[in-house]
Amino acid sequence: MNKLPDIGRFTDDPLSSHTLPGRFYFDLDVFDREQENIFHQTWQYACHVSRLEFSGDFFVRDIGDQSVVVVRGADNKIRAFHNVCQHRAHRLLEGSGSLSSAIVCPYHRWAYELSGKLRRALHSDQVRDFSSSEISLSEVRAEIFCGFVFINLDHNADPLMTDLCDFEKEVLELSPRVRDLKLADQREIHLNANWKNSVENYSECYHCPNQHPGLAQGSLDMESYQITVHKKFHSHASRGVGEATSYVKSEDRRRESREFGSWLLWPNWAIEVYPGGYLNIFYHLPTGPETTTQICEWYFSTSEPTKEQREVIDFVNTVRDEDIPLCETVQKGLHSLGYHQGRLIANEARSYFSEHAVHDFQKKVLEAIA
């Protein structure tokens, strides 16, 4: 790989630092480094356990050029495997669904147990020294956090829950039944912007009063809004809410939680709990140096949203839509010959407008790919 672009006036102190230079957001070599040193070595989101309710249920997650399938086995254990046949490298599965009792390659019909062991290879009895017992799917680490299944391509990585006990506690305080929820709505946004651009937009609320008036005035109390940086995650919290948004006015909802919390797990997965206990996840998945797929999923006690839950989904979709042109316009600006790097706005009080979490994210990226 080539040498990394110069980091210019980026420093360790958010109060005095500039941003990463623009080249970090479109340089192919930087992107390749990120794939190898971040996405191949960190815990990446697969799905909620409700997508793997029964034996044979599976879900495929593509991470860059790597594809992983998670499946619930006959023994009720959730496992993950590289989504590739051990014969001639054909992809095994696509999307999600349910298998009867085996994973069957569509190319030559090699069949694998749900545990990954080879069950059958047609005509292998005519091959010298062929041993089915020596062949199995290549396993990927899979662990569960608050009911969400994560996978890691690095067999030497720390366990998922390392340094996340406080994170789990905070989520369960606002959504104690998160493990029992069901997928009720999902949406993908195909963004013409680098994944870091997308995550950084999520990591500050400096732009909220100007760009998200419905959020800043109707759902969040900006004076109490604060972002706290932890070793492996950021937490966003707001004390109270206004009354401008339609879903806020429900009497039933008023009896429930009026707290807002969101958490960004390094490097690219977020979980949000809105007033009333409404929960969604927001996943920033890089698909190229200047393209990102944002995945938003909502989880409720049932798979069919109520009228009020639909109002919350629509409200947050509006906020997401407001962010699209911001990220895409910034992506264009990062190519400008008139821009190299900007000055971050941060303060000691870590107020809602402080960009200290953006700085922490950029610092983690640098540490990972250096």
**At what angle are helices 356-369 and 195-202 packed, to 10 degrees?**
150
State the pLDDT at residue 276.
Answer: 79
* Number of neighbours of residue 109 by Cβ within 10 angstroms: 12
Q: Which of 115, 169, 170, 146 is nearest to 43 (CA)?
A: 146
Burial of 28 (0-12, 13-18, 19+ CB in 10 A): exposed
Give the pLDDT score at 250.
46
Side chain identity, residue 35? Q
| pLDDT value, residue 258 | 54
Helix axis angle for 195-202 and 307-333, nearest 10°, is 120
Between the CA of residue 91 and those of 78, 112, 142, 262, what are the distances in Å?
20, 13, 19, 35
**Can you give the pLDDT at residue 222?**
85
Give the span between the Cα atoms of 73 and 79, in whole angstroms.
7
What's the pLDDT score for residue 249? 45
Q: Which domains does the chain have, with CATH numbers?
A: 22-41+163-369 (3.90.380.10), 44-152 (2.102.10.10)
Per-residue pLDDT of the chain (370 residues; tens, 9 = 90+): 678 889 999 999 999 999 999 999 999 999 999 999 999 999 999 999 999 999 999 999 999 999 999 999 999 999 999 999 999 999 999 999 999 999 999 999 999 999 999 999 999 999 999 999 999 999 999 999 999 999 999 999 999 999 999 999 999 999 999 999 999 999 999 999 999 999 999 999 999 999 998 887 766 788 888 999 999 999 998 865 554 444 444 444 444 445 789 999 999 999 999 887 899 999 999 999 999 999 999 999 999 999 999 999 999 999 999 999 999 999 999 999 999 999 999 999 898 899 999 999 999 999 999 9
Closest CA to 235 of 206, 256, 205: 205
**Distance from C-alpha of 209 to C-alpha of 215, rounded to nearest angstrom:** 8
Q: Give this prediction's pTM.
A: 0.94
In 3D, which of 68, 99, 91, 90 has the Cα closest to residue 81? 68
CA distances from 93 to 69, 99, 125, 246, 294 (A): 7, 10, 26, 42, 22
- Residue 221's pLDDT is what? 83
In a 3-state reduction of DSSP, which class is residue 152?
strand
Residue 237's nearest CA partner among 328, 139, 167, 340 is 167
CB-facing half-sphere around the CA of 216: CA atoms within 13 A: 15
CB 106 within 8 A of CB 83: no
User: What count of other Cβ atoms lies within 10 Å of the Cβ of residue 162?
Assistant: 11
